[in-house]
Amino acid sequence: MSTETTVSDRQTPARGLPRRRTTGPVLPAFFGRYLLRERLGEGGMGTVYRATPLRRGPDVALKVLSAHHELEGSATRFAREVAAMAALEHPNIVRVLDHGDVGGRPYYAMELLRGVNLRELVERTGPQPLDRVLAILEPLADAVAATHAAGLIHRDVKPGNVMLDPHAPRLEPRLLDFGLVLAPGGEGERITLDGSLLGTPGYLAPEGMLSARALSAASDLYGLALTGVHLLLGAPVFRPHDLTTTELHRAARSRAFDTLDAVRTLPPALWTTLWRSLEYYPARRPSLDQLRAVLCAERTGTPCGSA
């Protein structure tokens, strides 16, 4: 994987991103050894473009650290994101193809995925059938398990960070965005310099409201289960303020499952495991392996693992 530093945009403005423009370059534009063709989206730290390598090859998704984040310590998180994704090899985790720096602007290139994220899927088509949810959650749980096996916590498992091509012959969800990745017990940031909480309101596990050090494999399990219930329900489970007290959290969880029960009947083992996975306190949640075993058993009709 190349880490070659390309031509500085300060030396050759026509071949790089302007350092002080917050609206981004006029496209198409050159950025090092890539031609930026289309802006695909903008996240907490960077902008993602569809880009064509100048040395041939298929188009990629190129994520570039945003100029206005350069003084906020985001470069450290960006580097951690690149390192984590480059170290993970799993069919349900997006692959990093290249990374480097152009005039002080870090970037990395990912495989360009076709389709929609799970949030968009639900917005377009509503609640998902159980067989589809199982086909999505089981490999996604395997991807999260591979992340944990590498000693990492994703910290932002949610529908918007999972891509899916609904028209592919086989459903293959891909876990994205390791921008908040954290080594267990590590020093990873909980808040930015302006005091805003890192993580996605409504999807951040309750313990993440207190400290990054409190986040664990149980926090990713929470996000995974929340994604599953979102797919089944066709709507988010929690509002941001529902995480502020155990009472609000319990009430919101009960409302969501009552609504779910009114529109469909889930297998008892799956219902119970999803319910327990959304407990306010991490110690009361099952393990990721237990959820994986239940998902496998529901798909195959036979006992699996530690179900």
For residue 184, what pLDDT is reported? 55
Q: Residue 297: is its pLDDT beyond 80?
A: yes
DSSP3 helix / strand / coil % (the chain, rounded to 5): 40, 20, 40
**Nearest CA-CA partner of 291 in 110, 142, 95, 109:** 142
Q: What is the mean pLDDT of the chain?
A: 84
Find the farthest-apart pair of alpha carbons in the chain and give their distance in angstroms, rounded.
63
Mean per-residue pLDDT, 266-276: 96
Are residues 113 and 165 in contact, defined by beta-carbon separation less than 8 angstroms?
yes
Q: Which residue has better confidence, 297 or 187?
A: 297
Per-range mean pLDDT, top range of 27-36, 97-106, 219-228: 219-228
For residue 72, what pLDDT is reported? 57
For residue 60, what pLDDT is reported? 96
220 is catalytic: no
Q: Residue 20: is its pLDDT beyond 50?
A: no
Q: What is the DSSP letter of 182?
A: B
**Nearest CA-CA partner of 257 in 238, 283, 280, 282:** 238
- 142, 156, 177, 242: which is the annotated catalytic residue? 156
Q: Residue 8: is its pLDDT beyond 70?
A: no
Single pTM value for the model: 0.84
Of 85-89, 91-95, 114-118, the poorest mean pLDDT is in 85-89
Are residues 223 and 154 in contact, defined by beta-carbon separation less than 8 angstroms?
yes
Residue 30's SS3 state is: strand
